Chain A
């Protein structure tokens, strides 16, 4: 699978170079675990293609492999923006199988999930290095955004000069604090939303078209 993926990606890279103007931009959905990345990816995919990207879960690290949804056409203001969405595993600096034991999982499954999640983080970081043209950074607005992971990832994204849209997710929850997210990264625009409830998706799509069109 690695070989095939590698070959396909290589071919895609070559074609990207040839038809750069016409190819859809590949937008990575990044963020810490359980921020709602897959929920957002599914929301976008369902809204514009009718299909989902992957299963959502309350359990952290449900997404352990980057999943791509290609040719998502988003219409805004009479124009169409086509993007490829890459839903990436949640990025973290530590993965411990014990955190899965609370989610009705036996030790063997938890250890395997932990290993796969670690591989997923490695994959997500690799994608960030060379395979994405823009980033949607999803944060859980009920949690403190001042973390090493967020600071480091936003720093990498900025150093790459990638266009980045920061989303403050989970505004449907009472503990949501969008201001805290906006204050953490004042150099970027922050858009509040609830991917689960579909709140404020109009503005999200407008910003996606603006940033990545």
Chain B
């Protein structure tokens, strides 16, 4: 199930409207996204599990099932892993000088997990910071780790690698589709999507300073168009 309440663990299917007004089970309003049910909570214990109290639970509650939160969060954040930001996990504090990194054959999501940990730590203040966290913030990632991190992300992109590159015209059309008709870059600077302006029936007659604009609705006057 793609969505899970981090309070009580109840799961929801993708697009479920139940969770829009909070978890019907416990009333919680924090959920995590777990794509495709790929991460089974208990199959992938990592060394830092014992440190999970500094992880997501910092933003949830101490009663949250920690074994469910950490690995799945890691799996879901792998795609956004930023190699330059992969500082050491708390459990690795004594290994940072190891050039081989041989003691770190842990799943790719670990570093990403640490990102969320440090983020939530910052949010929660300095309470409970230990030497591992201090080390994670101060140490520099080694080139070897960077290389490994980049390779570990690759499998998820394999579809892109095998597909032919889209035609440039298709790409432009796709981008044009996504653009607004008028984008206000900054006051006095505008980018216009001509196709969108041409295609839309409404007629923009006035732009406001605050980014709003006034349109003329052809149908508003009860006039038959053509």
A interface, CB within 8 angstroms of B: 2-3, 6-7, 10, 13, 91-98, 107, 110-111, 114-115, 118-119, 121-123, 125-126, 128-130, 149, 152-153, 156
The answer to whether B205 touches A119 (Cβ under 8 A) is: yes
The answer to whether B221 touches A6 (Cβ under 8 A) is: yes
Confirm or deny: B223 has a beta carbon within 8 angstroms of a beta carbon on chain A.
Answer: yes
B224 to chain A, nearest CB (A): 9
Q: A2-B205, A6-B216, A122-B197 are in contact. Are A94 and B221 (CB under 8 A)?
A: no
Number of CB contacts from chain A to chain B under 8 A: 81
Q: A118-B207, A119-B206 are in contact. Are A149 and B194 (CB under 8 A)?
A: yes
Q: A2-B205, A2-B216, A126-B203 are in contact. Are A121 and B189 (CB under 8 A)?
A: no
Chain A residues with Cβ below 8 Å from B226 are 13, 130
The answer to whether A95 touches B221 (Cβ under 8 A) is: no
The answer to whether B189 touches A96 (Cβ under 8 A) is: yes
Chain A residues with Cβ below 8 Å from B216 are 2, 6
Rounded to whole angstroms, the CA-CA distance of A130 and B223 in the bound complex is: 15
The answer to whether B197 touches A125 (Cβ under 8 A) is: yes
9 example contacts (A-B, Cβ-Cβ < 8 A) are as follows: A6-B221, A92-B192, A94-B190, A107-B188, A115-B190, A122-B181, A122-B182, A122-B203, A126-B204
**In the complex, which of the residues A2, A114, A129, A130 contacts B189, with contact meaning CB atoms closer than 8 Å?**
A114
Chain A residues with Cβ below 8 Å from B221 are 3, 6-7, 10
Given A97-B188, A122-B181, A122-B204, 10 further pairs, Cβ under 8 A: A10-B223, A94-B189, A96-B190, A97-B187, A107-B188, A115-B207, A122-B197, A122-B205, A125-B198, A152-B194
B interface, CB within 8 angstroms of A: 181-182, 187-195, 197-199, 203-207, 209, 216, 218, 221, 223, 226
Rounded to whole angstroms, the CA-CA distance of A141 and B199 in the bound complex is: 29
Chain A residues with Cβ below 8 Å from B209 are 115
Rounded to whole angstroms, the CA-CA distance of A91 and B203 in the bound complex is: 16
Chain B residues with Cβ below 8 Å from A96 are 188-190
Chain A residues with Cβ below 8 Å from B189 are 94-98, 114
A88 to chain B, nearest CB (A): 13
**In the complex, which of the residues B187, B192, B205, B223 contacts A121, with contact meaning CB atoms closer than 8 Å?**
B192
Rounded to whole angstroms, the CA-CA distance of A2 and B220 in the bound complex is: 12
Rounded to whole angstroms, the CA-CA distance of A111 and B198 in the bound complex is: 24
Which residue among A2, A115, A121 has the maximum number of chain B CB atoms within 10 Å of its CB? A115
The 4 closest A-B pairs by CB, nearest first: A97-B188, A111-B188, A125-B197, A122-B204
The answer to whether B188 touches A110 (Cβ under 8 A) is: yes
B107 to chain A, nearest CB (A): 46
Rounded to whole angstroms, the CA-CA distance of A116 and B209 in the bound complex is: 11
A35 to chain B, nearest CB (A): 16
Which residue among A95, A98, A118, A149 has the maximum number of chain B CB atoms within 10 Å of its CB? A118
Which residue among A7, A92, A119, A122 has the maximum number of chain B CB atoms within 10 Å of its CB? A122
**In the complex, which of the residues A7, A93, A111, A115 contacts B194, with contact meaning CB atoms closer than 8 Å?**
A93
The answer to whether A91 touches B223 (Cβ under 8 A) is: no
Chain A residues with Cβ below 8 Å from B190 are 94-96, 114-115, 118
Chain B residues with Cβ below 8 Å from A118 are 182, 190, 192, 207
Rounded to whole angstroms, the CA-CA distance of A110 and B221 in the bound complex is: 35
A160 to chain B, nearest CB (A): 10
Closest residue of chain A to B172 (Cβ to Cβ) is A148
Q: A118-B182, A129-B198 are in contact. Are A93 and B223 (CB under 8 A)?
A: no
Chain B residues with Cβ below 8 Å from A97 are 187-189
A153 to chain B, nearest CB (A): 7
